[in-house]
Amino acid sequence: MKATEAIQRAALKLREARATRVPVSPVSVSHQLEGLEVAYQVAELNTLARLESGCRIVGKKIGLTSKAVQQQLGVDQPDFGVLFDDMEFLDGAEIPTERLIQPKIEAEVAFVVGRDLPARSPTYGEFLNCLAYALPALEIVDSAIADWKISLFDTVADNASSALYVVGDQPVPVGALALADLGMAMTRQGDTVSVGTGSACLGHPLRAAYWLARTMAERSQGLKAGEFILSGALGPMVPVKAGDLIQARIAALGTVNCRMA
């Protein structure tokens, strides 16, 4: 099978898995995907398919920000996925589990881009100048790969295992926060299931977001005003199911809640 054919078939396989909610075996093996760029090409084909269906890109998510997870997968950098407009929910929303396969949830800091960042490698100052606000967020991640038996190439090809996200109501200016020191506690049905801090996210949530800004610049894609950046988990992700009530409190950012419906 030619490389381009393998990429196209892998993308279709993942789209079908999402549409039918039936997970598949690792596409990195079944379609012989070798290399990070090849995996991103698979994801890009499915991004184009979503755009053609009428969806809009509204931001990016960063994955693999935990050093422990990076070591587990044998990588030394995060990855990224695309956020679409139909993935967004607001605080207190009911989350439709019929859209999901094998969901898990994690708490993180979301940033709102305040002004366009040109598609060139930014300095840290230029990057900070483009950010407006931070919000508490929940990301519902979901893999199209059976039993979450993913390699780096599988999760990248599967849009960084993106599914849905929930953002809090009250934005806080980024400069007013000591983000690395933020404590996080997430409960499920009132029981604490995940705890962490801002420093768990690549040492600092802004460092993770800066990595994204530079990575997108390398791909000639600048960040756009109004886009969200989900900067990465502050603590362990946990599985969720219909009926679960989730609340995360992230220190000065406040709380964000959802119910799995």
Q: Residue 86 belongs to what domain range?
A: 57-260
Q: What is the domain count for the chain?
A: 1
63 contacts: CB under 8 Å, gap ≥ 6: 78, 79, 80, 81, 141, 155, 160, 161, 232
Q: Is the model's pLDDT at 1 over the cut of 60?
A: no
118 confidence band (pLDDT: 50, 70, 90):
confident
CA distances from 43 to 14, 68, 69, 131, 190 (A): 9, 24, 21, 26, 36
Mean pLDDT, rounded, of the chain: 94
The answer to whether residue 169 is domain-embedded is: yes
The answer to whether residue 40 is domain-embedded is: no
The answer to whether residue 9 is domain-embedded is: no
The answer to whether residue 82 is domain-embedded is: yes
Q: Is the model's pLDDT at 116 over the cut of 90?
A: yes
Q: In this predicted structure, what is the pLDDT of residue 120?
A: 85
- The whole-number average pLDDT for the span 7-19 is 97
Q: In this predicted structure, what is the pLDDT of residue 27?
A: 96
Q: What is the CATH number of the domain that holds 220?
A: 3.90.850.10
Dihedral in degrees, nearest 10, Cα atoms 200, 201, 204, 208? 160
- The whole-number average pLDDT for the span 28-40 is 92
CA distances from 56 to 4, 24, 29, 144 (A): 26, 26, 31, 21
Residues 46-105: tens digit of each pLDDT: 999 999 999 999 999 999 998 767 776 667 789 999 999 999 999 999 999 999 999 999
